[in-house]
Amino acid sequence: MKQLVCISSMPDTAAKISFTADQTHFNKEGVQYIMNPYDEWYALVRAVEMKEEHGGTITVCHVGTANNDTIIRKALAIGADEAVRVNKDPQDGYDVAVQIANVARDQEFDIIYTGKESIDYNAASVGAMLAELLDLPFISYANHMTYAHGKASVTREIEGGDEIVALPSPFILSASKGLAEQRIPNMRGIMMAKRKPLNVVEPVAVSQMARIVKYSTPPPREACEMIDPEDMDALVRKLAEEAKVI
């Protein structure tokens, strides 16, 4: 079987975030990037498990610049066979979906994976847009999947419970927690990743569908005043005179 895993990069969760002077762009200077955890821990690892069960190949696709090649090599070390990087700093999620669709079209992938969302903007939009562009079924928030004879049974999160969907391949799913367990690349995988193909392709033209007008940071937290739990008079006075809730 042929599988495609879409991977994205984002600032390390420990990175200090700042913006440009006009507050319209994220300041990338000195920021360490990682692979989106939903793409890595759940989408990619489940694809590797599927390959171990059913054979075939895994391609990873990333839309970004050469600065992210280390992240792509990590995906290859975890178990992907080849990688495609669309050489573009994407404008928005639609741009990402169009570029990946251009790579995936006519490749006859059985399953295409995305993470359920990226942990920077949490838009959760690329998978659905990709499915629309490729005219494929889309299963979101998948937390369990079985596959046999070209057909899958996918369990997905819904409000108040789970939903089980049965469908034939090809299809696209967005991976949620529970679909797989995190894997750490071993030394053999890291060494092999250096020899696996990483193909760089040029992007197709895309009209920008969304534009960031301005970023703003939340106001600083106000000081917290501690009150002796035995001093009920002080507590009541502050609630009445300062908080004005009683």
Q: Give the pLDDT score at 194.
A: 94
Domains in the chain with CATH codes: 2-221 (3.40.50.620)
pLDDT of residue 199: 96
Handedness of CA 20, 22, 23, 24 (dihedral sign): negative
Residue range 135-193, pLDDT digits in tens? 999 999 999 999 999 999 999 999 989 999 999 999 999 999 999 999 999 999 999 99
Per-residue pLDDT of the chain (246 residues; tens, 9 = 90+): 999 999 999 888 777 878 888 888 778 777 888 999 999 999 999 999 999 999 999 999 999 999 999 999 999 999 999 999 999 999 889 999 999 999 999 899 999 999 998 887 777 889 999 999 999 999 999 999 999 999 999 999 999 899 999 999 999 999 999 999 999 999 999 999 999 999 999 999 998 887 888 888 888 888 888 888 888 888 888 888 888 888
Task: Report whether 127 contacts 173 (CB < 8 A).
Answer: yes
pLDDT of residue 218: 83
Q: How far is Cα 171 from Cα 100, in angstroms, rounded to an integer?
A: 14
pLDDT at 47 (0 to 100): 98
What whole-number distance in Å separates Cα of residue 205 and Cα of residue 208?
10
| Residue spans of beta strands (DSSP E) within the chain | 2-6, 9-11, 33-35, 57-64, 82-87, 111-115, 138-148, 151-158, 161-168, 171-175, 198-201
Whole-number pLDDT of residue 35? 95
Two tokens, residue 50: 């599927």
- Note the pLDDT of residue 29: 79
Distance CA 116, CA 133 (A): 18
Is 100 in contact with 86 (CB distance < 8 Å)?
Answer: yes
Closest CA to 233 of 225, 241, 245: 241
pLDDT for residue 4: 98
